[in-house]
């Protein structure tokens, strides 16, 4: 036992390395993980004291455990067997594919990343780019939602800024779990989005196995009371107008709903902007076969660098106003009543109607709508038209900076002329510049559904 053994130095170092790794994995890492887990639980407990809707334990579960729970779900196991038979492959191969899908979908929520970084970043970015306005909002109905119910914010999708803006404005309510498309599956953005609790979906997938796994994840999160946010339109509006609802995620939620389930309460949210950052890209997509959205990283970086340069040279201007409105909640149990099954299309239509009814009317969309309908118009005529529309619509939807028509007209016209969408002719009238008609239409469409015919019927005319 006391015999001396000679070893090469490299082998001795390798043995020490293996010993250190073994010690760390069996003794050190579990203790460290336990220490940080305890700190996290204490931090979340403090957060939950100030949040209207506390963070549910489901969101805090380890990602590995959630993946295991998902792939061993009875519905998923049946789907694996069916997929293996349909494709003529061994079940273990189909099971591995299911595991890949689960890893792709399941987030890894971090309260530190969400409340320590994401909220601050969302607040800074929203206020750096826009004058943020809270539109239609009734605190009473929102506070009266059953604390045990699952809240789902349903929103129109105008821009990728929607995620940022609603995350910022909902910061005092809860941590939102978003369904995000494949555009966000690029590193390191994908890591940050997962850490914020978002889950990725393949919008065009026709794979039954994938859809079963996604459905079960949504149902498990809903049954656990996780506060969620979704876009019923399924993607960004290419025309600026509200699009017909897609039923996928709504179907997953309603399929998992039963008499013994906790209630699901949908909160309509409507967003609008004086400037949609992707407007020209979306218009190009509307005119492209398949409406594919192509946003090159190079173009995005050029725009970012341009804004940085404008800020450094003191010429930076915010892009106008961005507004968010919250509508009256809709209880799924109340909507379903005594029916054994939920009729999905009327539910989707009701949600879209509630969203459409509270879309904020901002200066740029309003001016674009007036010029689209009336043609060339003077500054004075524009203010008269805005005043008449304000009387017709009331204050519930109209959100003018400083509640002043003159200032709103100046801000909106300045925005549109700087972007070379409008031009001022020798008669002192503003009209759409040649080649910019689609852009004018894009912004006018966002509020067109709110404008009654009498909004154009005013005696002063457009002079």
Q: What is the DSSP letter of 73?
A: S
Beta strands in 413-459, from DSSP E residues, in sequence order? 422-424, 429-432
Does pLDDT of 291 surpass 60? no
Residues 6 or more apart in contact with residue 247 via CB below 8 angstroms: 344, 345, 348
Pair of tokens at residue 449: 């559904």
Residues of the chain with pLDDT > 70, as a percent, come to 78
Q: Pick the residue with more confidence: 287 or 272?
A: 272
pLDDT at 163: 85
**Sorting pLDDT into bands at 50, 70 and 90, what band is 265?**
very high
Rounded distance, CA 4 to CA 400, Å? 87
Which of 214, 217, 175, 179 has the alpha carbon at shortest distance from 196? 175
Does pLDDT of 280 surpass 50? yes
* Annotated domain spans of the chain: 104-277+319-357, 363-456
Tens of pLDDT, residue by residue over 110-148, are: 777 777 778 888 888 889 899 998 877 777 778 888 888
- Could you give phi then psi for residue 75, rounded to 5 degrees? -65, -40
Residue 55 and residue 226 in contact, taking contact as beta carbons nearer than 8 Å: no
Does pLDDT of 360 surpass 50? yes
pLDDT at 184: 59
Rounded distance, CA 223 to CA 225, Å? 5
Helices 279-286 and 437-448: angle between axes, nearest 10 degrees: 90
pLDDT at 60: 65
Residue 212 and residue 415 in contact, taking contact as beta carbons nearer than 8 Å: no
Beta strands in 189-320, from DSSP E residues, in sequence order? 199-200, 228-230, 264-273
Highest mean pLDDT among 50-54, 275-279, 393-397, 458-462: 275-279
pTM of the model: 0.83
pLDDT at 192: 65
Average pLDDT, the chain: 82
**Sorting pLDDT into bands at 50, 70 and 90, what band is 402?**
confident
Rounded distance, CA 257 to CA 134, Å? 32
Residues 6 or more apart in contact with residue 105 via CB below 8 angstroms: 70, 199, 200, 201, 213, 214, 217
**Residue appearing with tokens 């389930």:** 261
Does pLDDT of 33 surpass 90? no
Mean pLDDT for the stretch of residues 44-73: 72
**Sorting pLDDT into bands at 50, 70 and 90, what band is 266?**
very high
pLDDT at 447: 94
Enter the CATH code of domain 363-456.
Answer: 1.10.3380.30
325 strand-pairing partners: 270
Compute the half-sphere exposure of residue 303: CA atoms within 13 Å on the CB side of its CA.
11
How many residues in the chain?
463
Q: 104-277+319-357 domain in CATH 3.40.190.10?
A: no
Residues 6 or more apart in contact with residue 57 via CB below 8 angstroms: 224
Query: Rounded to whole angstroms, what are the CA distances from 151 to 50, 53, 307?
Result: 17, 9, 37
pLDDT at 36: 45
Q: H/E element holding 179? A: strand 177-180
Tens of pLDDT, residue by residue over 69-80, are: 999 999 999 999
Taken in order 430, 431, 436, 440, the sign of the CA dihedral is: positive
pLDDT at 461: 44
Does pLDDT of 236 surpass 90? no
Rounded distance, CA 371 to CA 239, Å? 17
**Sorting pLDDT into bands at 50, 70 and 90, what band is 295?**
low
Q: What is the DSSP letter of 53?
A: S
Does pLDDT of 32 surpass 70? no
Highest mean pLDDT among 112-116, 145-149, 198-202, 212-216: 212-216
Q: How many CB atoms lie under 10 A from the CB of residue 41?
A: 12
Residues 6 or more apart in contact with residue 108 via CB below 8 angstroms: 63, 194, 195
């Amino acid at each position: 036992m006391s015999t001396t053994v000679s070893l090469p130095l490299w082998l001795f170092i390798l043995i020490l390395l293996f010993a250190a790794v073994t010690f760390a994995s069996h003794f050190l890492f579990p203790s460290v993980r336990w220490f940080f887990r305890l700190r996290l639980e204490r931090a979340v407990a403090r957060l939950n004291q100030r949040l209207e809707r506390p963070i549910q334990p489901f969101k805090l579960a380890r990602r590995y455990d959630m993946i295991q729970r998902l792939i061993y779900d009875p519905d998923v196991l049946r789907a694996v067997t069916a997929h293996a038979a349909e494709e003529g492959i061994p079940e273990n191969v189909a099971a591995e594919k299911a595991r890949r899908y689960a890893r792709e979908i399941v987030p890894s929520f971090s309260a530190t990343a969400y409340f320590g970084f994401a909220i601050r970043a969302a607040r800074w970015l929203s206020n750096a780019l826009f004058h943020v306005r809270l539109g239609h909002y009734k605190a009473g109905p929102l506070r009266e939602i059953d604390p045990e119910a699952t809240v789902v914010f349903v929103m129109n999708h105008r821009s990728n800024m929607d995620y940022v803006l609603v995350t910022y404005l909902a910061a005092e309510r809860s941590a939102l779990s978003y369904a995000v498309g494949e555009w966000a599956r690029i590193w390191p953005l994908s890591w940050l989005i997962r850490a914020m609790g978002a889950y990725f979906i393949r919008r065009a997938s026709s794979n039954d196995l994938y859809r079963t796994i996604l459905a079960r994840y949504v149902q498990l999160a809903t049954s656990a009371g996780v506060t969620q946010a979704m876009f019923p339109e399924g993607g960004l509006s290419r025309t600026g107008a509200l699009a017909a609802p897609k039923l996928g995620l709504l179907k997953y939620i309603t399929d998992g709903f039963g008499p013994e389930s906790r209630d699901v309460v949908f909160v309509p949210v409507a967003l609008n902007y004086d400037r949609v950052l992707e407007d020209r890209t979306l218009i190009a997509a509307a005119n492209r076969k398949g409406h594919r959205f192509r946003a090159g990283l190079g173009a995005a970086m050029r725009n970012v660098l341009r804004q940085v340069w404008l800020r450094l040279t003191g010429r930076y201007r915010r892009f106008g106003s961005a507004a968010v409105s919250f509508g009256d909640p809709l209880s799924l149990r109340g909507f379903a009543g005594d029916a054994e099954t939920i009729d999905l299309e009327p539910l989707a239509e009701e949600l879209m109607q509630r969203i459409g009814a509270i879309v904020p009317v901002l200066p740029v969309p309003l001016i674009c709508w007036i010029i689209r309908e009336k043609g060339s118009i003077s500054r004075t005529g524009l203010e008269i038209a805005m005043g008449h529309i304000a009387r017709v619509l009331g204050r519930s939807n109209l959100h003018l900076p400083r509640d002043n028509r003159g200032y709103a007209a100046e801000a909106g016209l300045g925005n549109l002329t700087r972007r070379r969408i409008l031009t001022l002719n020798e008669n002192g009238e503003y009209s759409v510049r040649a080649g910019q008609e689609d852009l004018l239409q894009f912004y006018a469409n966002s509020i067109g559904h709110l404008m009654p015919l009498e909004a154009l019927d005013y005696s002063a005319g457009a002079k």
